[in-house]
Structure 1
Amino acid sequence: MNQKIEQLRGIIDNADKITFFTGAGISVASGIPDFRSIGGLYDEISKNGYSPEYLLSEDYFKNEPEGFIRFCHQYLLFADKEPNVVHQWIAQLERDHQSLGVITQNIDGLHSDAGSTQTDELHGTLNRFYCLQCNQKYTKPYVIDKQLHQCEMCGSIIRPDIVLYGETLNQDTIFDALHKIKAADTLVVLGSSLVVQPAAGLISNFDGKNLIIINRDPTPYDNDADLVIQDDMISVINNLNDIS
């Protein structure tokens, strides 16, 4: 493992244009449950006889908007979760002008909380809510603190700025993500199984020098990677910082 950490250090130190691609695994260490892993959010909701895909769908939101917002408050909104050392490391490399930014499949907003500004949130973010009627904007802390279900301005339902099942990804976000990947000399994948489409398919557009994958489990892109580290990413980044 020490040899791989040294290899990772060398690649990062010599990279000028790093793009990060992150999945649910990066936020597990912050206490946010993975969606599909055993014991994750999917299993928890399924115990109650619900289909998580339906509860996170455009159809459920349209049919039962109040039920949808209750579900958000119960299962998705975490007031006490903060960025971990991996989020902070990524944000620091952006401040150091080594990183082009981060592309994430996560909706928790922790990259932005850590200080990353060049962030493409493929599935949207829970950091923002808005009213469907008057477009009044709300922040996640405000929605949590007020246990807000309806707009304070017009009384209509509010929703998080996330992509639900049945909705299409934002094309401007996809375009920006593709640009980051194509412009990168180094692509670092963290905590993603790289199986969720179309997001994971973006990786195939990388044509730079170094593809690095840090994930506990194998991914479909491991054979294409220049460096694969299957270990706890918190431990990896802590070890990396120790030798920097």
Structure 2
Amino acid sequence: MDSNFEKCTNLIAAAKNIVVLTGAGISTESGIKDFRSKTGVYHLAPEYILSLDYFFQHPKEFYQFAIENLYHPDAIPNSGHEILTRWEEAGKVKHIITQNIDGLHQKAGSKNVIEFHGTMKTATCLNCGKIYLTEEMVYRMQTMENFYTCSHCNTKREKEQYIKPDVVLFGDAGEWFSVEGFNRILHHIEKADCLLVLGTSLKVTPFSTFPQYRGRGVPIIIINKGDTPYDHQEGTYVIQDSIGKTLLEMDK
């Protein structure tokens, strides 16, 4: 057995408070596109299409792109998601903090999940706060002209009653971007005895800063097919391989 892999397996076996950071790389193994690779979402369109400005200026086009590329109701959790659920049930994994908006961690049965960039499961009226399921938004798209305008409230300015998907767009701020939300995440990370990073390049701020807040001497295990800024730091163990396959081998 590879000594690096063996060390990682032993660290996870000994850990009692693992905090997991996940990105698109764990979901690609369920057939969902990532964002920045050659076949990713941003290869199809510029990042600007997922900005708050674009949403307000072109709501129909925004929704069409988002439903086609970000909404995956039929995606199924893979072995990576399932093992994290098992480790959570065993009391080993305490929190999963994810950049993903696909809900696959919850589909797999994980309970303590922080969706840092929001979710594609719902959308909310910016005026009255009515929540719409995304299935309902798809139906509205097929049957209504101004489907993106709330049917339950009225304001003088139509844009104030737009129904926005509950994802964090560029120029946007989600519930975890508040001081209180950020501090709750840092509290979890500070208490961790092992940080497990899965399928993220840790290059998008502020998510990329989270490992900096771990306790002194706390190891980071990174399973990701690309490089990250943390790869060569002391106490960091890197495995550039499939997440599902690697976690399955560690779970034996």
1:161 correspondence with 2:166: yes
Equivalent residue, structure 2, for 1:212: 221
Tell me the TM-score normalized by structure 1: 0.87
> Does structure 1 retain, via aligned residues, the 8 Å contact 2:18–2:94?
yes
Q: Distance in 1 between matches of 2:115 and 2:202?
A: 15
Q: Aligned-pair distance for 1:8?
A: 2.5
Write the letter of the residue equivalent to 1:6: E
SS in 2 for 1:29: helix
> Could you list the per-position Cα deviations for residues 35-83 of structure 1 after superposition, in whole angstroms to 9, with x for gaps in the alignment?
01111111122xxxxx2x2211111112222222222122211222121
> Could you list the per-position Cα deviations for residues 99-142 of structure 1 after superposition, in whole angstroms to 9, with x for gaps in the alignment?
22111111222122222222222211112221223322123344
Please identify, of 20-29 and 9-18, the stretch whose mean Cα deviation from structure 2 is larger: 9-18
Distance 1:194 1:209, change over 3 A: same
Q: Aligned-pair distance for 1:215?
A: 0.8
Q: Distance in 2 between matches of 1:93 and 1:164?
A: 31
Equivalent residue, structure 2, for 1:127: 121
SS in 1 for 2:60: helix
Equivalent residue, structure 1, for 2:33: 33
Q: Given the alignment, which residue of 89, 113, 118 partners 1:95?
A: 89
Q: Distance in 2 between matches of 1:136 and 1:154?
A: 9
RMSD of aligned Cα (Å): 2.1
Equivalent residue, structure 2, for 1:182: 190
1:234 correspondence with 2:221: no
> Could you list the per-position Cα deviations for residues 176-226 of structure 1 after superposition, in whole angstroms to 9, with x for gaps in the alignment?
221111110000001111111111011111125321111112211011243
> Does structure 2 retain, via aligned residues, the 8 Å contact 1:18–1:188?
yes
Write the letter of the residue equivalent to 2:241: D
1:104 correspondence with 2:112: no
SS in 2 for 1:8: helix
Please identify, of 15-24 and 226-235, the stretch whose mean Cα deviation from structure 2 is larger: 226-235
Q: How many residues align?
A: 236
> Does structure 2 retain, via aligned residues, the 8 Å contact 1:122–1:173?
no
**Structure 1 unaligned regions, length at least 5:** 46-50
Write the letter of the residue equivalent to 1:192: T
Q: Aligned-pair distance for 1:3?
A: 3.7
Tell me the TM-score normalized by structure 2: 0.85
Q: Distance in 2 between matches of 1:11 and 1:232?
A: 19
**Structure 2 unaligned regions, length at least 5:** 155-160
SS in 2 for 1:19: strand
